[in-house]
Structure 1
Amino acid sequence: MNKRPAKKNVRETALELLETIDKNQSYSNILLNHAINKNQISDKDIGLLTELTYGTLQRRMSLDYFLQPFIKNPRKIESWVMHLLRLTLYQMLYLDKIPDHAALNEAVEIAKKRGHKGISSMVNGVLRNVQRQGVKQISEITDPIERLSIKTSHPKWLVKRWVEQFGYEETEKMCELNLTAPTQTARVNRIKATREEVLAQLEDEGFAAKASPFIPEAIHSLRGNLAHSDAFKSGLLTIQDESSMLAAYALAPGSDEIVLDACAAPGGKSTHISEKLGNTGKVIALDLHDHKVKLIADNANRLGLENVETKAMDSRKVQEVFAAESFDRILLDAPCSGLGVMRRKPDMKYTKKEADLLHLKKVQINLLRAVSPLLKKGGILVYSTCTVDKSENQEVVTAFLQEQLGFEGDESLKERMPEAVQSLVNSYELQILPQHIGSDGFYIACLRKKVQ
């Protein structure tokens, strides 16, 4: 009879996750959920597993800087051993609850189980030397860009780029915040209930949540995953970051209008637009992949929304399917580098390249060219991304406006925004940095098609 493979403990699971993320360049948030289910991690250990995995990923460059003096030839060390050393050093330096000796002993046991005696001896030696001698100070780095890069584990090219775009102080705030766990936020479906009613129901269910100070229909989770609540299952809530809720505010659809959401999965913005329409009119939600389109439809059904129509297609080909000037409003939440969501996907810091941004810029402009003829005269086109980089944001919109003389920036954008974010609006644009309201980084440009 075949034995079932032994379940891995929390640290073994974290190590396996770090290896898989590195090897496959897969997103950590997806793999973490899979690992929790596969290894039947208990509720009390999920928090530790998340902390170990995300924390080690978040601070990888700092950890390598600290380990470097203690490792003679890092290139000869197998990748899983480097991950084990980082994981253990993270516990020793950043987690007060775990005694150094416990973290160290477990690392040696894992090394024995997975490797030979030489590996476990090396792991033991490196970690005991760190424990005895302490780590070198990041403050010793004289170049301010490199120092911030190592201190916050952001690649040097990205720190340099952000300092040029936002200045050192704002870049430092953004990089520091990217090391912290994001707050889970949710949007109340105001077709079904008020925010106060939903907060009361969540309290009855044993969750702790509070009203957002920024967005009237948003709530912040203080304890518990709101996606596991009955309020979520019965369609009173959508899990969504607050910054992306602002896209529907910028669009501000009126009753019975026909709206196109050109890159819609998983449907957070489509369903928000539908709710703002009060279940009138129609939202046509497009995405390239069938399984993603199904997600949008499933979300709309859960929320009890009947005015969302989904279609799997490449949005660059919309003119082959829809007539010119057939939509009152269009949202293009364009594919982007995702540099605004690094707190959720910390592994992204080590896989993105500067050249990726140039390629994306071309895709984004082509999408704007494709969808813009479908907008009625006087209609609103909202371009949004979950990045903070100017090449994908302001530069794309400026290039589009210079090319398409039938469009202009809509300077009434500020009036439609929630009061708490109005001061961040600059003419027809809004760039949210993570430190502004504690959300993801997000960009919105609001454009109007000229009547004449």
Structure 2
Amino acid sequence: MNIKQRVIVLIREVEKGKYSNIALNEYFRANKLSKKERGFITELFYGVIRNKIFLDYEIEKRTKTIKKDWLKDLLRISIYQGTFMNGDEKGVVWEATELAKKKFSVPVGKFVNGVLRSYFREKDEELKELRENNRLDILHSYPKWFYEKVQEEYGNEAENFLISLKKVPYMSVRVNKLKYTEEEFEDLLKELDIDIIKKVETVYYIDSGEVLYTDEFKDGKIIVQDGSSYLAGRILNPKPGDIVVDTCSAPGSKTAVLGELMENNGEILALDIHSHKLKLISENLNKLGINIVLPVKMDARKLKEQGKHFDKILVDAPCSGYGVLRKKPEALYNKNLENVVELAKLQYEILESASKVLKIGGELVYSTCTIFKEENTLNIEKFLNENKNFSVMKMDIPENVLGEYDKFGGFLINYKEEILDNFYIIKMRKDSEEC
């Protein structure tokens, strides 16, 4: 099967609701491909999803309704390749024309040829006009509400945010120090001829996903995890013997950081509202050799209704996910501003509930993988105003992780950081009973 036909199959799966990262990983596991082929498929696949608004805008300017999804995806792929991958435009047009002829008919091939030739003839002027007319929402492929929201919150920095969230992500894995050492992992990378792009403590950003097919990964010596996610757990910094709760645990990667820091000594309650996710948490943590975790089916908003109190609490709250668009670009198309407001309310309810069962002198980390202030700074402002018995603690952010502190001391890993996911983290202490 032609590589572009393979990509069309993957795009269809995402359009039907499958997560892009899951679709791609499943495809690579089921098909033996060269490193070059995997790289090309990844770039085309994610590129089309990231730039769908721009691609569809250009297609719709030159066509009436396209009833065949396959044909529309072929046009998307071809325009993306010729615009963002510096593909040879004549070669791109020729290949797309031939694929359409074989799949449908000669007239359909001629239709594809005409649409693409029209676009490439006008491409430079099109890009120039979008910028001059301040249609950066289309140019960078964002829903208009999202573009306006980022512009409102970040002003002159808005375009930097928009560009940053469209960058290609790197594979990142964390060394599980309960089973493995950084030195051993670096020796493995040398054996596999894999380069390290960036290292954040025990998290490595690397230029190949080949490590996922190794015995070391199967044995739980390494785990897929972003540095931002790791930092949320590491900053909480639970000690051996602590009683800890991870309020929104699945799939358990942050819970694993907590278990490792506790040296597998103490107790962690890992909450989730879905039974099938509790099984996933157990499987992942057993693989990593962590046995102090008790998965519990519970709505974290009801945490305050049970009698147990905790030394440390991680509230990595459900959020809009706009900080991880590099890895899950389809999230742009299935949420809106109303969802952000609803999520901010949910996050606050979880945070408020968790605060009631934190011991005096206990510590709590609140984090989200999003960039909007409703879900981050504004939630913290409301919480601190209503809970005078809490204070913000200083955090140890690695020097090679870039971002900005907000007025309360929360840290947003933002567009200045080229590699890690955008992420908000703040740490608080309960100084006394409620004032």
Q: TM-score when scaled to structure 2?
A: 0.90
Q: Which of 160, 168, 171 is equivalent to 1:181?
A: 168
8 Å contact kept, 2:197–2:206: no
8 Å contact kept, 1:184–1:220: yes
Per the alignment, residue 335 of structure 1 pairs with 318
8 Å contact kept, 2:344–2:379: yes
Following superposition, the deviation at residue 343 of structure 1 comes to 0.6
- State the Cα deviation string for residues 391-444 of structure 1 (Å, max 9, x = none): 1111122222223343x2323x23x33344498444431111143252111111
Following superposition, the deviation at residue 143 of structure 1 comes to 6.3
Per the alignment, residue 88 of structure 1 pairs with 78
Q: Distance in 2 between matches of 1:434 and 1:194?
A: 31
Q: Distance in 2 between matches of 1:39 and 1:114?
A: 22
Q: Distance in 1 between matches of 2:121 and 2:399?
A: 54
Per the alignment, residue 112 of structure 2 pairs with 123
Matched position secondary structure for 1:84: helix
- Structure 1 position 150 matched with structure 2 position 116: no
8 Å contact kept, 2:391–2:431: no
8 Å contact kept, 1:249–1:417: no
1:399-418 alignment runs, 5 A limit: 399-406=382-389, 408-411=390-393, 413-414=394-395, 416-418=396-398
Following superposition, the deviation at residue 207 of structure 1 comes to 4.3
Q: Distance in 1 between matches of 2:418 and 2:60?
A: 37
Per the alignment, residue 19 of structure 1 pairs with 12
Q: Distance in 2 between matches of 1:17 and 1:121?
A: 25
Following superposition, the deviation at residue 164 of structure 1 comes to 1.9
Q: Which of 46, 50, 55 is equivalent to 1:58?
A: 50
Q: Distance in 2 between matches of 1:76 and 1:227?
A: 39
Per the alignment, residue 275 of structure 1 pairs with 260
Per the alignment, residue 5 of structure 1 pairs with none
Change in 2 beyond 3 A, CA 1:95/1:138: closer
Letter in 2 for 1:417: I
Letter in 2 for 1:183: Y
8 Å contact kept, 1:25–1:351: no
8 Å contact kept, 1:207–1:224: no
Q: Distance in 2 between matches of 1:240 and 1:365?
A: 26
Change in 2 beyond 3 A, CA 1:38/1:110: farther
Letter in 1 for 2:274: H
Q: Distance in 2 between matches of 1:154 and 1:296?
A: 34
Aligned pairs, how many? 432
Matched position secondary structure for 1:418: coil
Q: Distance in 2 between matches of 1:249 and 1:40?
A: 37
Per the alignment, residue 193 of structure 1 pairs with 180
When structure 1 is superposed on structure 2, of 351-360 and 267-276 the one drifting more is: 351-360
Q: Distance in 2 between matches of 1:76 and 1:190?
A: 53
Change in 2 beyond 3 A, CA 1:305/1:47: same
Per the alignment, residue 194 of structure 2 pairs with 208
8 Å contact kept, 2:312–2:364: yes
8 Å contact kept, 1:62–1:151: yes
Change in 2 beyond 3 A, CA 1:42/1:196: closer
Change in 2 beyond 3 A, CA 1:16/1:422: closer
Q: Distance in 1 between matches of 2:354 and 2:55?
A: 45
- Structure 1 position 382 matched with structure 2 position 394: no
- Structure 1 position 104 matched with structure 2 position 104: no
When structure 1 is superposed on structure 2, of 327-336 and 219-228 the one drifting more is: 219-228
Letter in 2 for 1:88: S
Following superposition, the deviation at residue 56 of structure 1 comes to 1.3
Following superposition, the deviation at residue 332 of structure 1 comes to 1.0
Q: Distance in 2 between matches of 1:224 and 1:38?
A: 15
Q: Distance in 1 between matches of 2:417 and 2:85?
A: 28
Structure 1's unaligned 5+ residue stretches are: 1-7
Per the alignment, residue 4 of structure 1 pairs with none
Change in 2 beyond 3 A, CA 1:225/1:435: farther
Matched position secondary structure for 1:436: coil
Structure 2's unaligned 5+ residue stretches are: none
RMSD: 2.6
Letter in 2 for 1:136: E
- Structure 1 position 291 matched with structure 2 position 276: yes
- State the Cα deviation string for residues 70-111 of structure 1 (Å, max 9, x = none): 33x3x3554433222111111222334x54344323323433
8 Å contact kept, 1:335–1:385: yes
- Structure 1 position 431 matched with structure 2 position 389: no
Matched position secondary structure for 1:70: coil
Letter in 1 for 2:397: M
